[in-house]
Every structure is written in C-alpha cells, then in structure tokens.
Amino acid sequence: MSPAKVSVRVRNKSDEDMPEEKTPAVIDLRGDAQPQEVQAASSYDRPRVSGYNGEMDDMPQARDVPTQKVRGFLDIASDGHGFLRPKFRPSADDVYISASQIRKFQLIGGDEVEGLGRPPKDTERYFGLLKVEKVNGEDAEKQTKRTKFEDLTPIYPDEKLTLETGKLPLSMRVVDIIAPIGKGQRGMIVSPPKAGKTTFLKDIARGISENYPKIHLMASLIGERPEEVTDISRSVKGEVIASNFDEPAEEQTRVAEIALERAKRLVEQGLDVVILLDSITRLARAYNLSVPPSGRTLTGGFDPAALYPPKRFFGAARNCEEKGSLTIIGTALIET
C-alpha cells in the first residue's frame, strides 16, 4: 500500500501583508469620470429584451422604426407565443405576438387584438406587435376581469329565432313550424350530397341577418370548393371562415378551432352568436387524418379519437344564464 500524498502550501510573509484586490463597483468609478460622462451614462436607456426573435414588449421603440396599426384574431401556438391572423388562417399578413404579452393581458385564443406593429427585420417573416391597445374592441386592461366561457351557466334555449322573411322561401316557414330554432340550440341538417343543404344554410343565414341584425353570424366552411366559398361569402352577411378541400387536414381543423374560439370570446362579451357549420362530416374526416391513431377503427374507417373534437365543437352551443348564447347549426352527409 503506497503512502498517502500530502500537499503543503507555504505562505510567505509577503502574501499576508499584501492587501486583497477588490473589483471596483460602478458607484466607485464615478469619482474618476468627468461630470458630463456620468450624466451621459445615467441617461442611457438600456434595451431590455425578454425573449428571442420578436418578444419586444419591454423593448423601447426606436424613433426611426416605422409603425402601423395592426389587427387580427389570436392564434396561440403550443410553445406559448402566438400570431394575429386577420384572415383567421395563416397568411403573409400575420403579426407575431410574444408569450409575455399574452400572459400580461391574459389573452385567449380567438381574441381580436388591435395595437401597434413594426415591419419584420431581415431575419424575420412577420410583423411584430409592439403594443397591445384593444382586445375585442375594449381596453386591454379590462379583459383581465372577464368571465371565461367555461364558467358561464348553460341553460335551455328560451328565445325563438324566426327565420321567415316573406312568402319565399317556403322552407324557412316550414322550419319555424316543424323544427323551430332557439338561441343556444344545436341543430343538424342531415342530407345526401347535392341535395341542396348549402342553399338551405344560406336561406337560414338570410333569415337571421334580416330578422336579427344584432346577432353575430359566422359561417364555418370545412373542405369546401373555392367557388362555393366565394358564393357564400357574397351572400352571407357575416364572418365567413373557410378552408378549401385541397388544403391539408391540419389546416382544415385549425380553421374550425379558431372559428369556435372566436365565437366563445363573443359570447363572453354578452353577444348572441350563430355558427353555420358545413359540414361536420368533413370536419370529422379531417380530424381522422390529423389525430394520432389510437389503434382502433370504427365503421367507415373512422378512428374513435377523431370523433371527440367534432363532438366538442358541436357541444359548445349553449344558452348562457349570465349573458350571451352560442347557436350551432351544422350539416351532416349521408350515403357517402
């Protein structure tokens, strides 16, 4: 067994007498600086960056940076940041919003946000939001005290929606007599292809917009033909949120989710909202292609996990006791 090694450090007397060096603090350096240098250093506003690539809520706005008014509907990503989408779907006009801004104003997906934005830099793709001014048409500070949609009390529909507007179309008179629709109700139009269900939806939209101009009308079109989207956009007096049939399944489901979140934010403000969904069958097919497979397959090739999101969409319709209502009327395809 080898003997243990012991290291001994010999300290000289000169080491004990040598004073310990101390790094001077900033306050100590002021005595060596000229008065004008101290004044210039004190007035310097150091930029404070709270994140990467666009989190600029604490960054002072440069005087030479051009700004402009921006507006869009909030779409929050999985990692916390989000985008303001003016067209409810990804586009070149989107505006980046940082996660810290979302937390500060307690923003939720579907909020309509207005503020000041700056153009993208060389390494960026989107505009950046510098300041949040309004949320859902009101001051941003007031939105922190709102009641969330999930906390509202659902009750049975207690007010009827009259769809008849005149002698024609007769179908709306038949609906008022046989299958009346109330605020906060869920309705399903079951039809084979090419039977006129889209025309039926347009008649419903016309009756609601003429008889109830204060109701916020939304048309959510999933997997539609581009020319049909144009036709409905020109005939429906309301928001049209659409995805074409040639787009990826993830894009189609995302458009439907943004439309639903937008409707929930309006109900929180006390508004009556009506969503016309065309169709819940194509929405379920899109989820069937986008959700992770569960290992089981139902009749028709559907994965059980793909049926829960459309059910959640349809089940969001309700009449709220405190304020507002959400009515959803969808179409379902058969014999396909």
Of the residues 115, 144, 173, the one at which a domain ends: 144
Do 266 and 174 sit in the same domain of this protein?
A: yes
Specify if 110 maps to a domain: yes
The pLDDT, as a whole number, for residue 58 is 42
CA distances from 140 to 57, 104, 137 (A): 14, 10, 9
Residues 6+ apart with CB under 8 A from 130: 56, 57, 59, 61, 67, 115, 116, 117, 118
Specify if 41 maps to a domain: no
Do 275 and 328 sit in the same domain of this protein?
A: yes
- Whether the Cβ atoms of residue 152 and residue 130 lie closer than 8 Å to each other: no
The pLDDT, as a whole number, for residue 62 is 47
pTM: 0.75
Rg, the chain, Cα only = 30
Do 180 and 129 sit in the same domain of this protein?
A: no
Q: What is the DSSP string of 255-292?
A: HHHHHHHHHHHHHHTT-EEEEEEE-HHHHHHHHHHHSP
Of the residues 104, 120, 144, the one at which a domain ends: 144
Q: Rounded distance, CA 252 to CA 3, Å? A: 76
Do 292 and 192 sit in the same domain of this protein?
A: yes
Q: Residue 120's domain is classified under what CATH number? A: 2.40.50.140
Do 232 and 91 sit in the same domain of this protein?
A: no
Do 170 and 92 sit in the same domain of this protein?
A: no
* Other Cβ atoms closer than 10 A to 182: 15
Q: Residue 295's domain is classified under what CATH number? A: 3.40.50.300
Do 257 and 190 sit in the same domain of this protein?
A: yes
Do 262 and 190 sit in the same domain of this protein?
A: yes
Which residues sit opposite 330 in a β-bridge? 188, 277
Do 188 and 304 sit in the same domain of this protein?
A: yes
Do 206 and 88 sit in the same domain of this protein?
A: no
Of the residues 144, 170, 192, the one at which a domain ends: 144
Longest dimension (CA), the chain: 112
* Other Cβ atoms closer than 10 A to 246: 9
Residues 6+ apart with CB under 8 A from 324: 152, 266, 267, 268, 269, 270, 271, 272, 273
Residue 137 zone, left/alpha/beta (φ > 0; ψ -120 to 50; rest) = left
Specify if 206 maps to a domain: yes
Write out pLDDT tens, residues 163-208.
998 888 888 999 999 999 999 999 999 988 888 888 899 999 999 9
- Whether the Cβ atoms of residue 290 and residue 310 lie closer than 8 Å to each other: no
Do 193 and 276 sit in the same domain of this protein?
A: yes
Q: 169: cis peptide before it, omega within 30°?
A: yes
- Whether the Cβ atoms of residue 131 and residue 286 lie closer than 8 Å to each other: no
Residue matched to tokens 């559907």: 302
The pLDDT, as a whole number, for residue 206 is 92
Specify if 15 maps to a domain: no
Instruction: Report, as ranges of residue numbers, the positions in the chain whose pLDDT lies below 70.
Output: 1-65, 335-336
In the 3-class helix/strand/coil scheme, how is 141-209 assigned residue by residue? HHHHHCCCHHHCCEECCCCEECCCCCCCCHHHHHHHHHCCEECCCEEEEEECCCCCHHHHHHHHHHHHH
The pLDDT, as a whole number, for residue 123 is 83
Specify if 20 maps to a domain: no
The pLDDT, as a whole number, for residue 313 is 92
Q: 279: cis peptide before it, omega within 30°?
A: yes
Do 120 and 223 sit in the same domain of this protein?
A: no
Specify if 313 maps to a domain: yes
Write out pLDDT tens, residues 268-302.
989 999 999 988 989 989 998 888 887 788 777 78
Q: How many structural domains comprise the chain?
A: 2
The pLDDT, as a whole number, for residue 20 is 54
CA dihedral 36, 41, 44, 50 (to 10 degrees): 180
Specify if 131 maps to a domain: yes
Specify if 36 maps to a domain: no
Q: What is the DSSP string of 17-46?
A: HSPPP-PPPHHHHGGGS-HHHHHHHHT---
Parent domain of 88? 68-144
